[in-house]
Structures are given as structure tokens and as C-alpha cells.
Structure 1
Amino acid sequence: MNVVVLGGTGFLGRHVCRTLADAGAQVLQVSRTARSGPAPAPAGRITPVDHDLAGGGRPELARLLADADIVINTYGMAWSGTPEQMSEANSRWVGDLVDVMTELPRRPRLVQIGTVHEYGAIPVGTAATEDRTARPVTAYGRSKLLGTRRVLRAAADGLDATVLRITNACGPGTPRASLLGSVAHHLVDAAERHADGEPPEALRFPSLRAGRNFIDVRDAAEAALAASRAPRGVVTGRVVNIGGGRAAPVREAVARLVALSGVPIAVTEDEPDAAPVASKAEWQQVDISLAERLLGWRPRRDLDTSLHDQLTDLRRDAGQRERPDRCG
């Protein structure tokens, strides 16, 4: 397969590129700074291409997609953006993408990455199926849902396209801007200070009562591979949930991250009644039986594995940054 991964240097995009290349695909890794990053691996199967997806025009995008068999769109704007920026990247730009793809002489398959936040509030203790009416309660969820609807309209008009609605990803490379990413960075920094005799600073949170359906980012990448390989028509025009085995209280995930780090650090949180509610989506769990039935996919890694590998990856990066350069 010739695969183009849009947003290929992002958290999920990097893992998608690696997973597809390991499976034998030739991968075009497209992002604004693809060539300035570390050399891609496996060498020879991933070709980094610098392209400003937000600012580039349709003709250049069409040129990048001309020889593709599969296009996987991991590009988008998450929590760090304004509502307007999220709408631009997650909705309007997706419309441009499907317009370009429908005009290509040879149309590739599109695998669009969606999010569990499109569902909005899910009753506690239940798992959302794909036929659940989506009622997002955040600007991010609303913008992603508009992108999903644009893809599904294009599929109804003949484009071979599907949407993978992915839950909260974690694992190696988890961004610092995320909750688990910020905790992991704090723990790695605290471990270094603790080794020098400095007591670790406690972690304090408004509330950790929410339930989240975490998934290892490598499992999510393998779902993208499975969607790429599915026979034509099997998932065309469909939303498919991709998530971990169960929803876990966020406090449980933070506690496991602390335990795995080995750092003797206190974690405190405000009383639930006193803590502000960030959104109405206090519980997020999805039913993944459709992914197993149509794609033959199930998650292979549990939460402990994801958190352990996240810490290991972060420690390795920290060690490489601190290693002095040597000459001669």
C-alpha cells in the first residue's frame, strides 16, 4: 500500500506511520515540520514531507494524494486551540480534504480519525454504540463531529471513507498538555530531584472523579491499519468505535502512574462537590464490538503497559537530552 498520513508527526500520527511501515506499506508522513524531526524508522518505508496543511492550497494537497491507496487523517486541533481554530482544522479543512479526494482521477480510501468527545454525555456505567445520537458538549467535540459528518456525506456520494472514533489515547509520547502527560513529566522531574535529596512536590488536582476509556496509542494505530486493510465496502460510510477495554476512574490511572514511577509523591484532589465540572461528559466508554466484527481488531495492551511504556519513553528522552556531546 501507498499510504499518506496527514499530521504524521503528531502523537497518534507518528505511531500510525510506524505501524503501517512495519506492516510493509510505503508511507508519506506529511506535516509542517516532518523533515526537521528525528529520522523516521523503519528507514526506507517512511518518507517525511513538509507541508503546511492549514495554510497549503488544494492543488498541492491533490499532488500529495495523487498516488495514494490510503489516506489517514490524524491532523486536527485539540484542546490548546480556540473554538475558531478547532472549527477551522477539524471541520472546514476536512471538507477541503474530501473535496480534493473526490476530484482525484484515482480515489484513495480515507480513514478519518474522530474522537469519543463527539458523543458528549454518556450515562455512567454504559458503553456508547455507534448508533448513539452524538451530542457533544465541548467546542472540540462539536468541531470533530462536523468533520465526521462531512466525511460520511462524501462516503454517501461514493468516496471510500470511514471514521474511527477513538477514546483517550495514552502510551509512549503522550503529550505534556494532556493530564497523564503532565503527570508523567512531573514524576520524571521529581525522580531526578528526589535522587538529589530534594523531597518531591505533591500533585494536586481539582477533581479526578471522571471515568475515561483509555486506549494505548499503538492499539489505536493498529486499528487504523486494520481499517486500511479491510475489504472495500466493509466499513465504508461507517463510524467505528476504537477504545480500551473499560472506563477507568482518572484517579486510578494517576495512582497507577505514580506507583509505576516509584516516586514517593502525594496526590490530593478537591472534594467532588467543591470541584468545578469541566464538562457534562463525566463518563466516557464505548462499545468496541463492531471493530472486532468488521475489522478483526481488539486492543492488545492494558493500561499498566501503556503507563509503564510512557514513563520508560519519557525517561529515555530525558536521558538523551542531558547526555553531553563528545568529540574525537
Structure 2
Amino acid sequence: MAPTALVLGGTGFMGGHLCAAFRAAGHRVVCVSRGRSRTRPGDDGLVHLHHELGAPTQDVAALLADVAPQVIVNAAGVVWQAEEARMWSLNARFAERLAHATAALATPARLVQLGSSHEYGPSEPGTSTAEDAVCAPVSVYGRTKLAATEAVLDTVRERGLAAVVLRVANATGPGVPANSLLGTVAHRLAAPAPAHDGGERAELRLAPLRAQRDFVDVRDVAAAAVLAATAPAGEVTGRVINIARGEAVPVRRLVERLIALADRPVRLTEHRPPPEPGRAGPGQDARVLRADLEWQQLDISRARRLLGWQPAVDLDTSLTDLLAAVRLPEQERTRT
């Protein structure tokens, strides 16, 4: 019988690709989401369940007992422009409850926790950050993800949980959230051009694009999760593993490449938006990659050594597929 993989946050950006990757690897996939699925249960070959992430540990335990998975992947949580209390609840405290519930299962299961490169905080330009670096996150998002990582690793040490944390760089590719930087740009470029623009190029206004970041395609992240779920337990249990391309890329270059791929006459301008009160995402503005993380490049040698993984999707392909995924619903809307 095929092993069962339970994917929490399965209808989100990463979750959808995780479900597809585990299904392609021969798993029976149970997709768990907070809200109603965008697809009808069963029409994509998955089993769909709904679960409230704020539920107590016993409810999480009941979900796991009902599904009886061999693999649990936690891609649930919130990123962009969420309130601080909500981020602590869904990113950190849920991960702790999930780790405890997984450790208590009668039949052991492996937990793959998706962490974030925002857990590290600032790094020196020109350097690569390895997993043993001291973490000093500067955003609430980074702090909540680090708390989740620590909760999982504490449960490994104290309760014998079989778990691995994948610390993921900035993910891109088809399905990237519309309120992320690259998602914002792609949606602007995919929108129909004004009927009467006087021949002038449309303006694309963004926050200053000074950062150089490590980007990785979401499908490479999904492939890494499958490898982490199936690697020998002794190799990966209790480990943090960076998942990235291992190269810092100027963010402005990626935006300019998206514009070129879209073949749209756009004038790119940069400005500093006013702060938005009450928000605690990776940036005050959804289109901003935080200026206090102007350089980040991850060392991915551990992923190569322990998982036999390396990025397979180049950034040009990732951006092309991102744009195509955004354009498809735009084209469908114009036909109706």
C-alpha cells in the first residue's frame, strides 16, 4: 500500500506543489487547509480535509490519528501582511502543537517542517550563511518561524520526534502570492494595457530594489521535501537544512527580467512607501523585500550531502512559468 503524506497548508503556494510532488513520488496525499479547497475533493487525486490551525493539541492529535500518515509536511502559516498575534499563533504555536502530537503517535511518522531563511537575519555581503549560523531575525515573521524551528528541534531532543527542518530561501515560480514582490510585478504586467495611453509607457512603482537575495523555485522546494521525507532517518533527524540556489541575485535584476519576459512597455520607478500601521509581515509594504536584509546567500552544501538535492529549475524558467501562471486566469477573464 502506498505511504500516506499529510500536507498541512496544502492549498497554499508551496502546499499545492508539495501535494503534486508527493503524489508523483507514489504517496497517497491528504491535503489539509484552513478554508474551503479551491478544488472539489477528489478531482485532483487528493484527499481534502479542513483543520483550524488554532485548535488545541488534542484536535491536532485526532487529525493525525484519523489519517495515520507516514509523512507530515507543515507548510501552514501566514507570511504577507499578517497581524503579529496571528503570526505567532499560526506559525509558531501551531508548529509546537503539531510536533507534540506527532511525537505521541502510536505509529511513528516523520515531520518535515518548512522553515524560512528569514530566521537568520542580516548577513555580511559576499558571505554564504550555513545552518550553524547564529540566528538573529529582525522581522516578526522571522522570529515566529525561528520559534517554530526551535519547538520542533526541542521535541526531537525531548520526545524522540523524527523531524527535519528545511530552511527555505525566497521561493518563486508558478502560483507565487499576488501580494509578494514578484507576484505584484507579474500581476501588473499581466493586466490588460489601458486602451488609451497616449503611447507612453505605463509606470511600475516599487519600493527601492537594493536587496540581493537567494531565490529558489517552489518546485525545487517540493522536490527537497520529498527527499527529506524519504532519506535515512539517521541522516536527517534533528537537522536544519538550507534549501536555496546558493547565490544572491539583485532583486532589481529579477524585476527587470520579468518586465522583459512580459514584453510590456513599462517604466520602472522606485519610491519609499509610507509605513502601514498594525502589520508585521516581511515588509511594511507587500511589494518590499526588507531593506534590513539587503544581502542573503545560503550555503546549500548540507542539502547536497544529506539529501542528494540541488536546484534544478533556473531562475529564468521560474520567472517564465510564474508569468504564464498569472496570465492564464487573466486571459480567461478577458474571454468571458
| Residues 9 and 32, structure 2, Cα contact 8 Å, conserved in 1 | yes
Match in the other structure for 1:180: 182
1:32 and 2:34 correspond = yes
| Residues 211 and 291, structure 2, Cα contact 8 Å, conserved in 1 | no
1:205-224 equivalences under 5 Å are 205-224=206-225
Mean alpha-carbon deviation: is it higher for 77-86 or for 127-136? 77-86
1:144-223 equivalences under 5 Å are 144-157=145-158, 158-189=160-191, 192-193=192-193, 196=195, 198=197, 199-223=200-224
Q: How many residues align?
A: 314
How many Å separate the matches in 2 of 1:171 and 1:42? 24
Mean alpha-carbon deviation: is it higher for 67-76 or for 196-205? 196-205
Match in the other structure for 1:295: 307
How many Å separate the matches in 1 of 2:243 and 2:164? 12
| Residues 21 and 42, structure 1, Cα contact 8 Å, conserved in 2 | no
| Residues 98 and 151, structure 1, Cα contact 8 Å, conserved in 2 | yes
| Residue type at the aligned position of 1:29 | C
1:6 CA drift (Å): 0.5
1:244 CA drift (Å): 1.5
Match in the other structure for 1:310: 322
Tell me, what secondary structure is at the counterpart of 2:7?
strand
Match in the other structure for 1:52: 52
From the superposition, tell whether residues 132 and 216 of structure 1 become closer, same or farther in structure 2 (CA, over 3 Å). Answer: same
Cα distance per residue 1:119-169 (max 9 Å; x no partner): 000111111001101110111101110110010111112100010000000
1:33 CA drift (Å): 2.5
| Residue type at the aligned position of 2:168 | I
| Residue type at the aligned position of 1:3 | A
1:21-100 equivalences under 5 Å are 21-34=23-36, 36-39=37-40, 43-44=44-45, 46-54=46-54, 56-66=55-65, 67-100=68-101
1:69 CA drift (Å): 0.3
Match in the other structure for 1:12: 14
- With structure 2 as the length reference, what TM-score do the two structures score? 0.89
Match in the other structure for 2:121: 120
1:262-281 equivalences under 5 Å are 262-270=263-271, 278-281=290-293
Match in the other structure for 1:319: 331
| Residue type at the aligned position of 1:84 | A
From the superposition, tell whether residues 33 and 200 of structure 1 become closer, same or farther in structure 2 (CA, over 3 Å). Answer: farther
Cα distance per residue 1:4-58 (max 9 Å; x no partner): 0001111101100011101111010000235x312578843x111122223x333
Cα distance per residue 1:79-107 (max 9 Å; x no partner): 32122211111111111111111221112
Instruction: Give the alignment's Cα RMSD to 1 decimal.
Output: 1.9
How many Å separate the matches in 1 of 2:42 and 2:204? 36
| Residue type at the aligned position of 1:137 | V
How many Å separate the matches in 1 of 2:204 and 2:330? 20
| Residues 78 and 91, structure 2, Cα contact 8 Å, conserved in 1 | yes
| Residue type at the aligned position of 1:233 | G
How many Å separate the matches in 2 of 1:89 and 1:169? 20
Match in the other structure for 1:243: 244
| Residue type at the aligned position of 1:109 | R
How many Å separate the matches in 1 of 2:112 and 2:18? 11
| Residue type at the aligned position of 2:216 | I
The structure with higher relative contact order (CA 8 Å, sep 6+) is: 2
From the superposition, tell whether residues 116 and 41 of structure 1 become closer, same or farther in structure 2 (CA, over 3 Å). Answer: farther
How many Å separate the matches in 2 of 1:48 and 1:321? 27
1:233 CA drift (Å): 1.6
Mean alpha-carbon deviation: is it higher for 234-243 or for 201-210? 201-210
How many Å separate the matches in 1 of 2:252 and 2:13? 23
| Residue type at the aligned position of 2:327 | R
From the superposition, tell whether residues 306 and 40 of structure 1 become closer, same or farther in structure 2 (CA, over 3 Å). Answer: farther
From the superposition, tell whether residues 77 and 219 of structure 1 become closer, same or farther in structure 2 (CA, over 3 Å). Answer: same
Give structure 1 regions of 4+ aligned residues with deviation exceeding 6 angstroms. Answer: none
| Residue type at the aligned position of 2:119 | E
| Residues 60 and 97, structure 2, Cα contact 8 Å, conserved in 1 | no
Cα distance per residue 1:284-322 (max 9 Å; x no partner): 110001001000100101111110001111111222334
From the superposition, tell whether residues 240 and 178 of structure 1 become closer, same or farther in structure 2 (CA, over 3 Å). Answer: same
| Residues 211 and 289, structure 2, Cα contact 8 Å, conserved in 1 | no
Q: Which runs of 5+ in 2 are unaligned?
A: 273-287
From the superposition, tell whether residues 19 and 130 of structure 1 become closer, same or farther in structure 2 (CA, over 3 Å). Answer: same
